[in-house]
Amino acid sequence: MAKAHFIESRYQHAEAILNQLILKNQKDPNIFHMLGTIYYDKGKFNKAIRSFKRALEIDPAFTDASVGLSIILNDLGKYEEGKKVFDEAKTMLNSKGDGDPYVEEKLAIKHDELGELYFQYKRYSEAMEQFYKALTLSARKPELTMKLVECRIKKEEYTEATKLLKDLLRQYPDYLAGRLKLGMLYYDSQQVPEAIEQWESVLEKDPNNVTAKDYLKLAHAVEVTSHSDVLSESPSMEL
């Protein structure tokens, strides 16, 4: 019952039931994880920290609780402490199944979540470190590469961002989101013909792609304007 209320975000009802379970000396880490999440949502950070720590005392490899605790610590500016909590949980989980694809994907998800957290706080180098770690463990290469591209763009490392996308598209030529982004990088660097090539390639595979159509209209308008400027600057022929 508590979990159903929790999933539906009926936190007041869930909190009451969860506290009753604790009074009955229930030692399920999920109880404390849900309570920690509820307290975090209410801004009761100290109670949330205690709840997540209690969940980890019961199950040190409970990565959902470790990520929750990491998020709070990062919110409070305790970045190194938050990273330490996550790394300890990762080590525990990794020891359960070295080379197990399920475990590796679960680890990748946690690196991904931590990377998102660093990105949110504009700590792009740390975010990239986490996304690269996730990339070595996960089969979600296109999705994670796009996150690395966004980090590179935020750091104004456009050449590196372009290289990441070109490498990705060599392996996944039909990944349209990557082509759209590569086209935009070309466009922003005033390489309009290269941008048009990418967006036209998207339309070949998906003729109804609205984003590609909008980008192409913009690019063609720029081309027409540039051509008109060249003509207006050309010397007129005297008879």
Asked whether this chain's domains 1-92 and 173-230 adopt the same fold, the reply is yes
pLDDT band of residue 145 (cuts 50, 70, 90) is very high
What pTM did the predictor assign?
Answer: 0.64
Domain ranges of the chain: 1-92, 103-154, 173-230
Q: What is the pLDDT of residue 98?
A: 56
Burial of residue 162, with CB atoms counted within 10 A of its CB: 0-12 exposed, 13-18 middle, 19 or more buried? buried
Q: Encode pLDDT of 119-134 as tens digits.
A: 998 999 999 999 998 9
Percent of the chain with pLDDT over 90: 52
Please name which of 219, 209, 227 lies closest in space to residue 186, comparing C-alpha atoms. 219
For 1-92, which CATH superfamily applies? Tetratricopeptide repeat domain (1.25.40.10)
Q: Which residues contact 83 (CB under 8 A, 6 or more apart)?
A: 70, 114
Residue 161 has pLDDT above 80, yes or no: yes
Q: Which class in CATH covers the domain with range 173-230?
A: mainly alpha
CA angle 125, 128, 131 (to 5 degrees): 155
Confidence check: pLDDT of 62 > 70:
yes
Count of all residues that appear for the chain in the document: 239
H or E element, residue 167 = helix 158-171
Instruction: Report yes or no: 222 and 196 within 8 Å, Cβ to Cβ.
Output: no
